[in-house]
Amino acid sequence: VDLAALLDVAGPFHTFLGYLQKTKVIETFQAQANKTDEGITIFVPKDSAFAALKKSTFSNLTGDQLKTLLLYHAFPKYYPLAQFRNLSSLNPVNTFAGSPYTLNLTDDMGSISVESMWSKPKISSSVYATKPIAVYSINNVLLPMQLFSKDPPLAPAPAPAPESGASDIAPSPGGGKAGAGNGKADSTSAGHVGVANCLGLLAAAAGGLMLLW
Q: What's the pTM?
A: 0.73
Write the pLDDT tens digit of every residue in 57-103: 999 999 999 999 999 999 999 999 999 989 999 999 999 999 899 99
Asked if residue 207 has pLDDT above 80, the reply is no
Residue 161's pLDDT is 60
**Residues 141 and 162 sit within 8 Å (Cβ to Cβ):** no
| 11 band by pLDDT with thresholds 50, 70 and 90 | confident
Residue 159's pLDDT is 61
Distance of alpha carbon 84 from alpha carbon 30, whole angstroms: 23
- Report, as an integer, the average pLDDT of 159-166: 59
- The structural architecture, per CATH, of the domain 3-147 is Roll (2.30)
**Burial class of residue 94 (count of CB atoms within 10 Å of its CB; 0-12, 13-18, 19+):** middle
Looking at this protein, which amino acid is placed at residue 176? G
| Poorest-pLDDT segment among 3-7, 42-46, 67-71, 171-175 | 171-175
| Poorest-pLDDT segment among 13-17, 43-47, 175-179 | 175-179
What are the CA-CA distances from residue 193 to residues 96, 176, 179, 199, 204 (Å)? 100, 26, 21, 10, 17
| 160 band by pLDDT with thresholds 50, 70 and 90 | low
At 164 the three-state DSSP class reads: coil
**Burial class of residue 78 (count of CB atoms within 10 Å of its CB; 0-12, 13-18, 19+):** buried
Asked if residue 208 has pLDDT above 50, the reply is no
Distance of alpha carbon 164 from alpha carbon 153, whole angstroms: 32
Asked if residue 169 has pLDDT above 90, the reply is no
